[in-house]
Amino acid sequence: MDRILKAEGEDPNRFKVSKQADTVMLFFLFDEEELQQLFDRLGYPYDRDLVRRTIDYYDRRTSHGSTLSFITYAGVLAGIDPPSSWDRFMAALQSDVDDIQGGTTKEGIHMGVMSGTLDLLQRCLLGSYVTDDGVLRFAPRLLDRLDCVAFSQRFRGTSLRVGIKDEELTVLAEAGGFRGPLRIGVGDEVHDMEPGESHVFALAARLHSAP
């Protein structure tokens, strides 16, 4: 963006424009409680609408000159605007295939973006997180778009196979190398996994896909 503006005889410093997600990274790296503490320590006011206001402000002014910018925006929008998050996720996923930056793919793949899309799938769209009591929880979003998704994940040294199909989330704890006990949860249901055991969590009663 700065090169385009300079080529047109403009000074980039005269414009409110950003190449990629910068300030928005705060909401990607820290959860709401951590941000509240950071803002309080620095003496800045913090309210519940701050995240949305900040994302909207920078989204209108970001050119996404880095494909990693789509990763960041997809992550921070997952909890407040899932359909928009999905659009950014797809843009990141297709960035090398479609060569959206016009020539950079010939210089090599964007490994950071490829890793980021997997992180988005597991942590943001499947809602994978570990609570203070040691439970691996899932809170999937956009179930209609995640149907038939399956992937491997390691938790406390044990390989898990996680999949979604027909509004059910299935977790298989592989017997080889099992290092239990493992506790897996969805909503109010928490299940203790045994080696080689699979458990099915019904999602329809707890979760709804976004429009």
Residue with token string 């290092």: 179
Task: Provide the 8-state DSSP code for 160.
Answer: E
The 10s digit of each residue's pLDDT in 3-13 is 777 888 888 78
pLDDT at 104: 62
Q: Are 45 and 39 in contact (CB under 8 A)?
A: yes
Q: What is the pLDDT of residue 41?
A: 95
The Cα–Cα gap between 189 and 172 comes to 16
Residue labelled with tokens 């809170």: 139
Tell me which fold the domain 129-202 belongs to: Maltose phosphorylase, domain 3 (2.60.420)
User: What residues in the chain have per-residue pLDDT under 70?
Assistant: 98-108, 205-211
Q: Where in the chain is the domain with CATH 2.60.420.10?
A: 129-202
**Sign for the pseudo-dihedral over CA of 113, 118, 119, 121:** positive
pLDDT of residue 210: 40
Cα–Cα distance, 79 to 82 (Å, whole number): 6
* Residue labelled with tokens 């403009």: 10
Which pLDDT score, from 0 to 100, does residue 102 have? 64
pTM of this structure: 0.77
